[in-house]
Each structure stands twice: as C-alpha cells, then as structure tokens.
Amino acid sequence: MGRNYKPDPVLKPKSSSTLILCLVGLIFFALVYTIVPLIIKTKPASSNLRIGESLLGVNGNVGGGCCRGIENLELWGAAVKWGSEFKFNTSEECCQACKGLCSGNEGPCLCDTWVFCGNKKDCGTKFGECWLKKQKDTLVPNRQEAGQTSLWTSGLIFGKGEGIIGLETEYGVLNIKLLPDCAPHSIAYILELLPLHHCAGCQFYRAEGRGKSWDSDGNHINNAPFGPPFALLQGTLEAQGTTFKQIPKENCPLIQRGSVAWVGSGPEFFISLSNHEEWKNEYTVFGSVLPEDMEIAEKIARLPTKSDVWNNINVSVLEKPVPLMLRRIKSSKGDL
C-alpha cells in the first residue's frame, strides 16, 4: 500500500520483576523471538465502508476439533433440522451436530450452517434450540439478523471442496481452504472482502525461503538455526478505501507448512513455508494453502529481495511487492 512498514515484536516476555524481565527477554529474544514475523501496523485509511465488524466469538473444543461461532448473529437458510425439536446445552454440541452431517467423502454437505440460542434468560423457551441449515452459497451466507438484539449464535461449516478462495498473483493462484469453525471472525472479514472484486493495496512485501534450516516438506533440520531466513511470505489484506477493524485472537494451533495466519490482529498476514512449532500458539490461523499450490509460494519466496533490519532482526523484503487479488474458486479443488 506504499506504507513504510516498521518492525515491532509480536511476542513479549512476561515477568513481575523488571530485572528478570530484561534477562529473560534477552535470552528469549536470542533463542526464540528472532524467528517471529515483525511489523508495526499503521492506521487504516478513513472511509465510510466498514469491513469485518468485530463480533464476539464462542470458544470451541479445540481438542475435538474447532467449533466456534459468532454471537449476536442469526444466519438464514433452508432448515435441515428444526430447532424447536432439536436441542442441546451448548453451541459446541450444535456445531458438532452440523459437522456430523458433513463428514462424508462423497456428495455435498447436508448441513453447512448452525444457529443456536444459548442464553437462558434471553432465549426463554427457545433456550437450547439448534437449527441446522443449508446455504445456497456458503461464500455468501444469508444473514437474517445481526447485532446486540439477536439472541442467536451462528457458525459456518465448509465441507470437502467448499470454502476455497484464491489469492491471485502474477505468479499463479494460491488456493486457500478457509476455516470458519476455527476462526469465524477472520472468515467474516474475508467473505466481506471477497465481493469487492479488487484489493488495491493487498500485497506480499516480505519473502524468505527455507534456506538450510527446513527441508522441502517443511521439517526443521536437526541442529540448524531457526532463521534467518524464516521460511514465510508476509503481506497485507487491507484494501485501500476500506476501514479495517482489528480481528480478535481466535484459534491458534501450531504453525504448519501452508498455514495462513494473521500477524497480531491483522490485516497483516503470513503464509508459512515450514513447520514452526517453535512459535507455539501465538497466531490466529484462518486458512491453509492447498498442498499442490505451495510451489507458487516457493516461487514468490525466490524473487529478488533486499536486506532490511527490523528491531535488530535481519529480514528480506521484496524489491518489488507482489500485488494480490482475492477471487472465488468455482469448482472444488483438492482433498480439503
């Protein structure tokens, strides 16, 4: 977007003592934090167009798979199960019931939307109602009601071959499987950005290959450093002329090769070219690049770069940023 990106640590050491804080910070900075993507996000341009309004989420059962939704939101659609006759105690159970109708290897999902009433006081006799629904278009979900007046919590489920968008570049299209059950706020932003048919200012601006630290499968090589280079592409998904509102932290699994995650609360993001268990659970992962498209990411990582220093860390910045455009993928792709 023509902005001058500056470094800022994503992770900060924690301690109740200033002296200990300094010592621990120095040790961790040397051993771990040097591998973390770094930037300072500048204020977005002002506009009357608001994208990705922040909504409170519902924590899912990470151990059994993500099942998160958005509070104060009612999604519409053809009913598969009527909530008046189908009740649960938690939104997670409602979500899992929808997933249960979307677990086959053949044919479309019978359910891609769940709607739950979980506030005993406000829901009254509707408490526990779990409506399972089917959208005409999962990338354009039908919103019946949103805002504080809505009693409902809603979530989307993308089955096999569904919920895939493309990051189009001059070097090819990176097809990304979105994860609405793990990062519903993030996906709400992406789905609102998608219909714009442009993303002026969206780009990759940092590119670092795997070097000699990770193999072609993304596995760390024994006794090799964790960077630099740090095996990632970094960029922004903030379109000019829009107002971005920070996305709350959502599900943060370990970063794997192909993971697409926010830096902080967005709109800066990165695609990992390697498995980064050393980064722990620090980043909201909202998608995954299809394995067959990772070569395109590797190609971008091999483009000419220039060295820069961000917060005393050596990074590689693309000599020429690579513009991005989001687009729908019409046909099912891959096994995701």
Predicted local distance difference test score (pLDDT) of residue 104: 64
Average pLDDT of the chain is 81
**CA 305 to CA 125: how far, in whole Å?**
61
Q: Is the pLDDT of residue 216 over 70?
A: yes
Q: The tokens of 60 are what?
A: 């899912």
Highest mean pLDDT among 8-22, 145-159, 277-291: 277-291
**CA 36 to CA 38: how far, in whole Å?**
6
Q: How confident is the model at residue 44 (pLDDT cuts 50, 70, 90)?
A: very low
Predicted local distance difference test score (pLDDT) of residue 152: 95
Predicted local distance difference test score (pLDDT) of residue 50: 32
Mean pLDDT across 306-312: 92
Predicted local distance difference test score (pLDDT) of residue 290: 96
Taking only the tens place, the pLDDT of each residue in 116-126 is 999 999 999 99
Q: Is the pLDDT of residue 331 over 60?
A: no
**CA 156 to CA 114: how far, in whole Å?**
7
Q: How confident is the model at residue 198 (pLDDT cuts 50, 70, 90)?
A: confident
Q: Is 28 helix (H, G, I), strand (E, B) or coil?
A: helix
Q: Is the pLDDT of residue 128 over 70?
A: yes
Query: What backbone phi and psi angles, to 5 degrees, belong to 278?
Result: -70, -15
Largest Cα separation within the chain, whole Å, is 63
Pairing label, strands 50-51, 243-244: parallel
Predicted local distance difference test score (pLDDT) of residue 148: 66
Q: Are 296 and 171 spatial neighbours (Cβ–Cβ below 8 Å)?
A: yes
Q: List Cβ neighbours of 125 (8 Å cut-off, separation of 6 or more).
A: none
Mean pLDDT across 306-325: 94
Classify residue 113 by burial, with Cβ atoms within 10 Å: 0-12, 13-18, 19+: buried
Question: What's the angle, vertex CA 43, arms to CA 38 and CA 45, rounded to 5?
Answer: 130
Taking only the tens place, the pLDDT of each residue in 4-40 is 333 332 322 233 333 343 334 444 444 444 444 443 2
Q: List Cβ neighbours of 285 (8 Å cut-off, separation of 6 or more).
A: 179, 182, 183, 251, 252, 253, 255, 259, 260, 261
Mean pLDDT across 215-244: 92
Selection from 246, 242, 233, 165 nearest residue 199 by Cα: 242
Q: Are 121 and 96 spatial neighbours (Cβ–Cβ below 8 Å)?
A: no
Taking only the tens place, the pLDDT of each residue in 46-105 is 332 333 332 223 333 333 479 999 999 999 999 999 999 999 999 999 999 999 998 766
